[in-house]
Amino acid sequence: MRIALISDAWHPQVNGVVTTLTNTVATLKTLGHEVGLITPDRFKAYPWPGYPDVGLSFLCGPRLRPIIKAFKPDAIHLVTEGPIGYAARRYCREFGYRYSSSYLSQFPEYFKLRIGFPVLISEAYLRWFHSESDRVMVATASLEKEMHQKGYLRLARWSRGVDTELFRPRTKDFIKDQRPIFMFTGRVAIEKNIEAFLKLDLPGTKYVIGDGSNRDLLAKKYPAVRFTGYQQGENLARFMAAADVFVFPSLTDTFGVVLLEALASGVPVAGYPVQSCKDVITDEQVGILSVDLQYAAMTALSLNPQTCRRYALEYTWEKCTQQFVDNLVPMV
């Protein structure tokens, strides 16, 4: 099948959407599909308010249309709802082409936190964006239920996976600091609620792996915390495996891919009992979810790393990519 994937998120961005898309594209090719990837690197991009590391490609329609035509896809999927996704939606609607889309991030909440943009306006735009999609793919059961209650139609499940060869148990001596090591990995931004983790009175050492708009502020406020900046590939996997507990304080994520990366590395999880955590951590033997994050982090220290690893092995990119393919609709 020839599949056109339209996304406003792509490298060099580092986030869950890019991780998911990167692994999905690679797995689709392994499964024998041809992929036409249409992302911001094909167009002129402008900084996104509140997200200076993310570029938006406004008014890209005239250049996008011939790219899609030349690829001659059998199916079109709109990964994101930004300007490129909007231009592709408009193209499909104009020519009567069917398409699918995905709801990957709680952008209304992010916009509200970052720039004070009204949630009602953002939510209205997202409902409109997905209203004509033949399939709206979501990662979890709880998100599907939430969106159904908001009036979304034709919802379908598209779960997530983890690279269990890269993220695997390794020696802990990669980190030399006092143990236990409590770690967060992800974008260092207000919507990740990282300060809830940094405020905890925990023994050992706290690590924050990642970068973002709040890094300098938090690094000055919490000088004892180790901020490493962005890490990728083998280096990221070594940091992850060297942790004793992975602390995930986010209240707004739709699916924490990093939770699976931690579990695959044999590292138990501590988090709040919110959507993103409850949908991934369904076994109390691999993670502790509590409104008391201090309690969750300390209790998670006693969990078995081997149990965490076995749990993560059930989440493969092959399974979720086949799920994605099964949800696609023919263009015509």
How sure is the predictor about 95, in pLDDT bands with cuts at 50, 70 and 90? very high
> For residue range 262-288, what is the model confidence (pLDDT) as tens digits?
999 999 999 999 988 999 999 999 999
Segment 36-58, tens digit of pLDDT: 999 999 999 888 765 666 788 99
User: Whole-number mean pLDDT of the chain?
Assistant: 93
pTM above 0.95, yes or no: no
Does 183 have pLDDT greater than 60?
A: yes
Q: What is the pLDDT of residue 54?
A: 72
Tens-digit pLDDT profile for residues 6-33: 999 999 888 888 999 999 999 999 999 9
Three-state SS annotation for the chain: CEEEEECCCCCCCCCHHHHHHHHHHHHHHHCCCEEEEECHHHCCCEEECCEEEEEECCCCHHHHHHHHHHHCCCEEEECCCCHHHHHHHHHHHHHCCCCEEECCCCHHHHHHHHHCCCHHHHHHHHHHHHCCCCEEEECCHHHHHHHHHCCCCCEEECCCCCCCCCCCCCCHHHCCCCCCEEEEECCCCHHHCCHHHHCCCCCCEEEEEECCCCHHHHHHHCCCCEEEECCCHHHHHHHHHHCCEEEECCCCCCCCHHHHHHHHCCCCEEECCCHHHHHHCCCCCCEEECCCHHHHHHHHCCCCHHHHHHHHCCCCHHHHHHHHHHHCCCCC
pLDDT of residue 109: 64
Model pLDDT for residues 102-157, shown as the tens digit of each residue: 998 766 465 556 666 788 888 999 999 999 999 999 998 888 998 999 999 999 99
**Given this model, what pLDDT does residue 50 score?**
56
pLDDT of residue 118: 81
* Domains of the chain, CATH where assigned: 2-161+317-327 (3.40.50.2000), 172-312 (3.40.50.2000)
